[in-house]
Amino acid sequence: MSRLADTFAQLRETRQQEPGLVAYLTAGDPDLQTSREIVRAVARAGADVIEIGVPFSDPIADGPVIQRASERALAAGSSLSAALSLVEAVRADIDTPIVLFTYVNPVVRMGTDRFVERAATAGADGVLLLDLPIEESESMHEALEGAGLDQIFLISPTTTEARMRRAAELGRGFLYAISRLGVTGAQATVASSAKPVVDAIRAVTSMPVALGFGIAGPDHVKEACAYADAAVVGSALVQALAETTPAAAPAEAERFVRWLKGRMQ
């Protein structure tokens, strides 16, 4: 069983005690060294899965908060190679599953075979390629599966049942349900389309489901986990880190994740 599969199996056993949380961080924001410490802090705080976003110059699926994080990370020298080095650096210290969250372009530039080899060697557990259509993903799926890496697929409110079934056939670890159409970004409420998209996924597969886009606080996390296996929080966490200093960022990351998990005393 993969680290992701094991984590989600445990979450299903304990979901009544504590909500599942996937925490998103941009690799190299605010700088590469601080970013490593932030990842370690998020793991200490109890994040169940950590998504490491690869900074990209044209992040079309991301809202302004993560776009600015990508800009800061790129200015600090981050890249796909740096993100892989970050995973390798923290893997010795943490057991939390790590998913690389990236667009296709950086992978193509590095070379698929080299990327897959480095990701596996670094200790990543899964890969989510945001803009790779499922119809064109079989060769990537074979490469990732051969290296023991789970491929994560996105499911939106407009995804057809046929494509959901295909994502479940090829996907491993979990399916990432998008609560609403549009780009990433914290919202005041969980979208009304969130539960229906999770229900639609449940109708075709027993794979774990993590729900993201717009989830910003512990009430949202708890609500999402009433029907999904975990909630994904990205923009709200990234914004909290942007509002503090690099020196204080790891402590703020730990505090914020503990707050999201309902662990604040």
Question: Cis bond leading into 55, ω under 30°?
Answer: no
Q: Render each residue's pLDDT in the chain as its tens digit; 265 residues.
A: 689 999 999 998 877 678 999 999 999 999 999 999 999 999 999 999 999 999 998 877 677 899 999 999 999 999 999 999 999 999 999 999 999 999 999 999 999 999 999 999 999 999 999 999 999 998 999 999 999 999 999 998 889 999 999 999 999 999 999 875 444 544 555 557 788 999 999 999 999 999 988 788 899 899 998 999 999 999 999 999 999 999 999 999 999 999 999 876 5
User: Which residues face 24 on adjacent strands?
Assistant: 51
- Angstrom distance (rounded) from CA 42 to CA 217: 15
- Angstrom distance (rounded) from CA 26 to CA 20: 20
User: Do residues 154 and 184 touch, judged by C-beta distance below 8 A?
Assistant: no
Whole-number pLDDT of residue 185: 42
The string of pLDDT tens digits covering residues 169-200 is 999 999 999 875 444 544 555 557 788 999 99
User: Do residues 245 and 62 touch, judged by C-beta distance below 8 A?
Assistant: no
User: Which residues face 26 on adjacent strands?
Assistant: 53
What is residue 129's three-state secondary structure? strand
Q: Which residues are catalytic?
A: 51, 62
Fold of 3-11+19-261: TIM Barrel (3.20.20)
Whole-number pLDDT of residue 1: 65
Whole-number pLDDT of residue 52: 98
User: Do residues 126 and 141 touch, judged by C-beta distance below 8 A?
Assistant: no
